[in-house]
């Protein structure tokens, strides 16, 4: 009697089951009659053993949840497998099981002989859901190849997980906003930059009133702590509204900067910001918004 609900449940939870940064690989080609779905066909054609689920979503212009659902269906039928590859730009957070291991190291009894418990615990203690894998490897002075072997083990054991895509979008939007503020300070001066930030915030508050908690620090960066608490403790609706409000804040701020410096300088600023964000996260803020299907007014 519940069979008709199975596709709905899979579609709702697919992105939580199939991580957006895992890499789907083709195990065997599906029969022709299975590929009646346009989405499934596009995904099969995009598989190359290198693209992550998120990259497939971007290349096929499909919402990431749809890609996850189709891949989950293909996995269930044995056509697709998933492999893990730690990339320098990956961001992870510790799971409850990982916290338990940190508090009770003696519970970690199945470490391969090639790995050290001390290093496992050091890596777990450094994973914060903000810094990239490369940042943490450098902090611990571990060669990235060695570090990635530990990460593979931690991920396989369920001690860490990729940071959820919606939360990653908020981090990308925060960093994009900070980079825009640094540039606005350079071209407009502190007083004018602060003024246009407040005007932009008034527009963003129409989407999410709690954007009021975002304040500028003395060095022209946003104080993100209160909004991050809403993100962690709030509902999925709250997280979506935070993303939309931050995207609106960026859009209005860019428009105000453009009004003062002109299109040529604005384009140079935008290219510089996108280059820095892509270098850190391997994706720009507009691309991550497209991937999660959030339609906002942005350039």
Could you give the C-alpha distances from 288 to 33, 53, 161, 168, 284, in angstroms and in order? 32, 12, 19, 9, 6
Q: Read off the pLDDT of each residue in 180-209 and give the average, rounded to a whole number.
A: 89
User: Do 112 and 8 share a structural domain?
Assistant: no
Whole-model pTM: value is 0.74
User: Do 255 and 171 share a structural domain?
Assistant: yes
Quote the pLDDT of residue 265: 87
User: Do 9 and 36 share a structural domain?
Assistant: yes
CB 158 within 8 A of CB 97: yes
The SS3 call for residue 80 is: strand
Distance, C-alpha 169 to centroid of its chain: 5
Q: Is 34 exposed, middle or buried (0-12, 13-18, 19+ CB in 10 A)?
A: middle
Quote the pLDDT of residue 148: 95
Q: Is the pLDDT of residue 299 over 60?
A: no
- For residue 105, being part of any structural domain is answered with yes
Domain that holds residue 142: 92-162
User: Do 109 and 41 share a structural domain?
Assistant: no
**pLDDT band for position 298 (50/70/90)?**
very low
Domain closes at, from 61, 83, 105: 83
Domain closes at, from 83, 101, 130: 83
CB 40 within 8 A of CB 29: no
Quote the pLDDT of residue 19: 81
Helical spans, DSSP H, in 108-164:
117-126, 133-139, 144-156
Q: Is the pLDDT of residue 147 over 50?
A: yes
Q: Is the pLDDT of residue 1 over 80?
A: no
CB 297 within 8 A of CB 248: yes
Backbone angles phi, psi at 80, to 5 degrees: -130, 145
Q: Could you give the CA distance from residue 281 to residue 88 in angstroms, rounded to a whole number?
A: 9
User: Do 273 and 210 share a structural domain?
Assistant: yes
| Token couple for 217 | 């620090």
User: Do 169 and 101 share a structural domain?
Assistant: no
The SS3 call for residue 28 is: coil
Give the number of domains in the chain. 3
CA-based nearest residue to 127, from 103, 158, 152, 151: 151
């Amino acid at each position: 009697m519940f069979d008709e609900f199975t596709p709905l449940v899979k579609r709702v939870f697919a992105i939580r089951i199939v991580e957006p940064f895992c890499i789907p690989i083709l195990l065997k080609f599906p029969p022709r009659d299975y590929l009646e779905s346009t989405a499934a066909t596009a995904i099969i054609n995009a598989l190359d053993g290198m693209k992550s689920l998120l990259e497939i979503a971007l290349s096929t212009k499909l919402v990431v949840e749809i890609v996850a659902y189709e891949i989950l269906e293909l996995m269930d039928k044995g056509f697709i497998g998933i492999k893990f590859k730690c990339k320098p730009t990956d961001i992870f957070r510790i799971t409850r099981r990982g916290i338990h291991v940190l508090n009770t190291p003696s519970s970690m009894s199945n470490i391969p002989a090639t790995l050290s418990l001390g290093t496992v615990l050091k890596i777990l203690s450094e994973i914060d859901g903000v810094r990239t894998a490369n940042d943490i490897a450098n902090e611990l002075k571990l060669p990235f190849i060695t570090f990635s072997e530990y990460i593979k083990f931690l991920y396989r054991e369920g001690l860490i997980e990729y940071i959820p895509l919606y939360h990653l979008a908020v981090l990308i939007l925060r960093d994009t906003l900070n980079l825009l503020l640094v540039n606005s300070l350079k071209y407009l001066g502190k007083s004018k930059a602060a003024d246009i930030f407040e005007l932009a915030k008034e527009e963003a508050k129409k989407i999410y009133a709690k954007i009021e908690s975002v304040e500028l620090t003395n060095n022209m960066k946003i104080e993100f702590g209160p909004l991050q608490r809403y993100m962690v403790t709030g509902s999925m609706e709250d997280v979506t509204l935070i993303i939309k409000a931050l995207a609106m804040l960026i859009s209005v701020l860019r428009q105000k900067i453009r009004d003062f410096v002109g299109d040529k300088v604005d384009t140079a600023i935008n290219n510089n910001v996108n280059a820095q964000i892509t270098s850190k996260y391997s994706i720009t803020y507009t691309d991550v918004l497209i991937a999660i299907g959030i339609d906002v007014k942005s350039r």
